Structure 1
Amino acid sequence: MRTNVYVDGFNLYYGCLKGTPYKWLDLEQLFDRVLPRNQVETIHYFTARVESRPGNTDVAVRQATYLRALATLSRVQVHFGNFLASPVRAPVLECNPKGYPLRNNGQLVVKRNPNGAVVMEWVHKTEEKGSDVNLAAHLLRDALKGTVPAAVVVSNDSDLLTPIRMAQTDGGIVVGLIPPRPNGSAELKKLASFKRDIRQHDLAACQLPTTMTDASGTFTKPMDW
């Protein structure tokens, strides 16, 4: 079945790739492997350009290199949202000796001064905006135009329940799910027409070449990836 794949890039990264040596991922190889009975036509990859931040100054360079690598893949289309960084004043949490937040009856415990006032600190908050909306919009557009009879969504975001349901009922297409985390949204799994999983051996088998060439010249996989 002719199929488009819609990938929430940050969801894929934090669900499958962070902390692994498999970030230099070939999306074409991966989805051909995970969806062997589907004819994968277009892979829509939704992300945002990150900013360098304290303790991780090279993150923007690494991402830019990976996006350059993706641009060499003929079936991959990259769509950008926005990456926002801002100062936010937030409550400080009580933590155990290992540094993990404490809970009392399931509720997080905030730190308080001797007078009972909540201890507040300024924190550097980063967030990605727009990828889920962009994914939903492209999925619905393709479903209503009848671009392909099947779609696969790569995300754990339950905010996508309504657009997936509309793509199925109003667009009449089959929508499958690849959850980046095995324990992802139960509602998404229930709604999907079918589900596939990404295993560690799939990631290991689907890596881009260490050295690549595009119209601008030769480039290599970042050393600390």
Structure 2
Amino acid sequence: MRPSRSRPTAAVYVDGFNLFRRALQGRDDLKWLDLELLSSRLLPSFDVGQIRYFTARVRHVEGKDPRVPQNQERYLRALATLPSVSLHFGTFRADRRWMAVSPLVLDDAGEPRRVLVRKIEEKGTDVSLAAHMVADAMAGTFDVSFLLSNDSDFVDALRIVRERARKKIGLIVPTESAPARSLREIRPDHIRYIKQSALRGSQFPARVVDELGTFGRPSAWEMQKPLSMERGFWPVSR
């Protein structure tokens, strides 16, 4: 993307797990998402020169689809073909832990009764995203910093970008609903909402090419056919 002097520059910081949970979970047909295409749809009046994608490499978890790690690796490979996208990794954890039941129940000794649970979480991605956003702002690499997340943990980072680096801040909400209250209260200069139509129109092509060869969308992520086509009818144009 060649910068235009008539348009402000922007950097986009993508909270990968928040994007997945809010917009893509249960929608396999939308997961083959081209972040450059999505950014150009959402921010047509900006030159988006940097998109940082923060995630953690997942591992197979008992009871889950064993293809999930391989599907993610193929997606990361597709993202790596985009010139403006850089990938940043935290750590994925799936641990067994003893935790108190809810609602709280006390045992005979008056202690909270605990059960063994499986706790799945990612560590380090939020800190990395906030650090890169602030560092880029201080270096003056963009005019506007856009956060793609609805996580209120990023409020302080956005405030520092505005007050200390004196840059404008923007929020890309991964749903069509209102952003978290604490994010609204800092009054971003720009707010965008991700509609399913934008996700559907921002998919990678079925086949992608990199230095290792040609590869495609995971079979589990195949696009869903419209109901009219599944029944043998073609949709009528209006």
Tell me the equivalent position of 1:125: 119
> Which residue is 1:104 aligned to?
none
Match of 2:226 in 1: none
- TM-superposed CA distance for 1:116, in Å, is 8.3
Report the alpha carbon displacement of residue 159 of structure 1 after superposing the two structures with TM.
Answer: 1.4
| 1:82 equivalenced with 2:91 (yes/no) | yes
Deviations 1:21-44 (A, max 9, x none): 201101000010011111111100
Post-superposition CA distance 1:60-110 (Å, at most 9, x none): 1111110001001111111111112211112344xxxxxxxxxxxxxxx34
Work out the CA distance in 1 between the residues paired with 2:109 and 2:56.
Answer: 43
Stretches of structure 1 that go unaligned for 5 or more consecutive residues are: 94-108
Q: Distance in 1 between matches of 2:87 and 2:46?
A: 21
* Contact 1:189 1:195 (C-alpha < 8 Å) held by counterparts: no
Mapped to 2, the partners of 1:157 and 1:78 lie a distance apart of: 19
Match of 1:186 among 177, 181, 189: 181
Supply the RMSD in Å over aligned alpha carbons: 1.8
Quote the residue 2:203 is aligned against.
Answer: 207
Indicate the residue corresponding to 1:46 in structure 2.
54
Shift of 1:211: 1.6
Alpha-carbon distance in 2 for matches of 1:143, 1:117:
49
- Aligned partners of 2:61 and 2:94 also within 8 Å: no
Per the TM alignment, residue 169 of structure 1 is displaced from its structure 2 partner at its CA by: 0.9
Alignment partner, residue 32 of structure 2 = 24
**Total equivalences in the alignment:** 210
Counterpart-to-counterpart distance in 1, 2:136 and 2:146? 12
- Which TM-score applies when normalising by structure 2? 0.83
Note if contact 2:54-2:88 (Cα within 8 Å) is conserved in structure 1.
yes
Match of 2:162 among 155, 160, 168: 168
Looking at structure 1, the residues matched to 200 and 146 of structure 2 have their Cα atoms a distance apart, in angstroms, of 21
In structure 2, distance between residues paired with 1:23 and 1:83: 19
Q: Which runs of 5+ in 2 are unaligned?
A: 1-7, 222-238
Residue 58 of structure 1 corresponds to 67
**CA–CA distance in structure 2, aligned partners of residues 199 and 219 of structure 1:** 27
**Structure 1 equivalent of residue 17 of structure 2:** 10
Q: Which residue of 1 aligns with 2:80?
A: 71
Mapped to 1, the partners of 2:13 and 2:85 lie a distance apart of: 10
Partners of 1:183 and 1:215 lie apart in 2 by 41
Q: Give 4+ residue runs of structure 1 displaced > 3 Å after superposition.
A: 110-119
2: CA distance between counterparts of 1:66 and 1:37?
A: 28
Retained in 1: the 8 A contact 2:32–2:75?
A: yes
SS class of match (2:51): strand
Shift of 1:121: 2.1
Is the 8 Å Cα contact of residues 52 and 60 (structure 1) preserved in structure 2?
A: yes
Whole-Å separation in 1 of the counterparts to 2:167 and 2:193:
21
Corresponding position: 1:34 with 2:28:
no
Q: Which moved more, 1:211-220 or 1:17-26?
A: 211-220
